[in-house]
Chains A and B, each alone.
Chain A
């Protein structure tokens, strides 16, 4: 477009036409609604939703911590008899695997290398066999007391040749009778002991110890 060489023409018609230019035009219907929709603030998430995840994680940690802090691990006592038992005085075989009579709980035990076994460990043995005591669980101070015919024979820890409570605690039975084995777990003050199985067990329970007992008959 070329630059005109005039600046004095009456341009009022053009100015008037410009003034009325587009008078007939209207914005498309609904434009206000579209603007409002576009400017509407996004729906706000409730403030507590931002906290849900961290609070949930914190609660899970807290619950786990409380659970592990208050969890009581049950005290387990097991008595086993080692192989290589000697033949008993009455001539019964102890290591040939012959089947034994049913145990007190109705389960069929096995007589043989480990003597008579119930579902919860050995219940009988022969003189000369080596008995082993295994304890597990518990959450406090653990002890094992071993009695022979109701009289104290060994306290562990404390007595010499006790071995390790978590590993090798055993002895070779050298006389017939009943061996009472007690595992104790607790942090209470140890009561005065009489050296008698029934009395000591009752005293320990009264003091708050958790106990687990086994009896092994030796013939």
Chain B
């Protein structure tokens, strides 16, 4: 959950707050949990709402300039044409995820970082599985292009 909040918001302090708030709300709303999904899916549903709220609030305040998380300082570029290493790939990936639309970024993280099925994601995101699948499918090539553009190397 914490990883998800951090990568979705790209801001350590904000992620700490959201992560804590998610568990506070889960504790509060647990009696209303109707067991139509797993507890994990239910909690990620809460987390998605809080992440979107935090991202919107940050945009409204105009405080976020991107790249504020110290874990995302980009490494020097590799020699042209050379395949980038995993560490550099991850650094670039963080920046490129940040450029995606909030809802798309969340869908990508839920699918690959958290390993949810599209059916579970549909519960979390309150959208159709097909819609989410299409969003994720379109996002991956976008990320690839972005990473290659940032690093100058092949993925």
Chain A residues near B (Cβ < 8 Å) = 1-4, 6-7, 9, 11, 13-15, 17-28, 31, 34-35, 38-39
Q: What is the CA–CA distance of A19 and B116 in the complex, to the nearest angstrom?
A: 11
Q: A13-B89, A14-B155, A39-B27 are in contact. Are A22 and B16 (CB under 8 A)?
A: no
26 cross-chain CB contacts under 8 A: A1-B142, A2-B145, A4-B141, A4-B144, A7-B137, A14-B140, A14-B147, A15-B140, A17-B89, A17-B93, A18-B112, A19-B113, A21-B7, A21-B112, A22-B7, A22-B113, A25-B2, A25-B71, A27-B16, A27-B19, A31-B19, A31-B20, A34-B20, A35-B20, A35-B23, A35-B24
Contacting residues, chain A, for B2 (C-beta < 8 A) = 22, 25-27
Question: Is residue B28 within 8 Å, beta carbon to beta carbon, of the partner chain?
Answer: yes
Within 8 A of A (CB), among B54-106: 71, 86, 89-90, 93-94, 99-100
Q: A6-B141, A28-B16, A38-B24 are in contact. Are A21 and B93 (CB under 8 A)?
A: yes
Question: Is residue B40 within 8 Å, beta carbon to beta carbon, of the partner chain?
Answer: no
Nearest first, the 6 closest Cβ-Cβ pairs linking A and B are A22-B3, A18-B112, A4-B141, A27-B2, A39-B27, A35-B23
User: Across the A-B interface, how many residue pairs have beta carbons closer than 8 Å?
Assistant: 84
- Closest A residue by C-beta to B94: A21
Q: What is the CA–CA distance of A31 and B137 in the complex, to the nearest angstrom?
A: 35
Question: Is residue B143 within 8 Å, beta carbon to beta carbon, of the partner chain?
Answer: yes
Mask: chain B, 21-62; 1 = CB below 8 Å from A; 0 = not = 001100110000000000000000000000000000000000
Contacting residues, chain B, for A19 (C-beta < 8 A) = 112-113, 115
The smallest C-beta distance from A9 to any residue of chain B, in angstroms, reads 6
The smallest C-beta distance from A128 to any residue of chain B, in angstroms, reads 96
Q: Which of A13, A34, A39 contacts B28 (CB 8 A)?
A: A39
- Closest B residue by C-beta to A28: B16
Question: Is residue B109 within 8 Å, beta carbon to beta carbon, of the partner chain?
Answer: yes
Q: A19-B112, A23-B3, A35-B24 are in contact. Are A3 and B142 (CB under 8 A)?
A: yes
A11 touches B112 (CB 8 A): no
Question: Is residue B146 within 8 Å, beta carbon to beta carbon, of the partner chain?
Answer: yes
Contacting residues, chain A, for B146 (C-beta < 8 A) = 1
The smallest C-beta distance from B64 to any residue of chain A, in angstroms, reads 17
A17 touches B90 (CB 8 A): yes
Q: Which of B20, B109, B113, B155 contacts A13 (CB 8 A)?
A: B155
Q: What is the CA–CA distance of A6 and B148 in the complex, to the nearest angstrom?
A: 14
The smallest C-beta distance from A16 to any residue of chain B, in angstroms, reads 8
A4 touches B20 (CB 8 A): no
Q: Which of A4, A17, A23, A35 contacts B142 (CB 8 A)?
A: A4
A18 touches B93 (CB 8 A): yes
Contacting residues, chain A, for B142 (C-beta < 8 A) = 1, 3-4
Mask: chain B, 99-130; 1 = CB below 8 Å from A; 0 = not = 11000000011001101000000000000000
Contacting residues, chain A, for B23 (C-beta < 8 A) = 31, 35
Q: What is the CA–CA distance of A3 and B146 in the complex, to the nearest angstrom?
A: 11
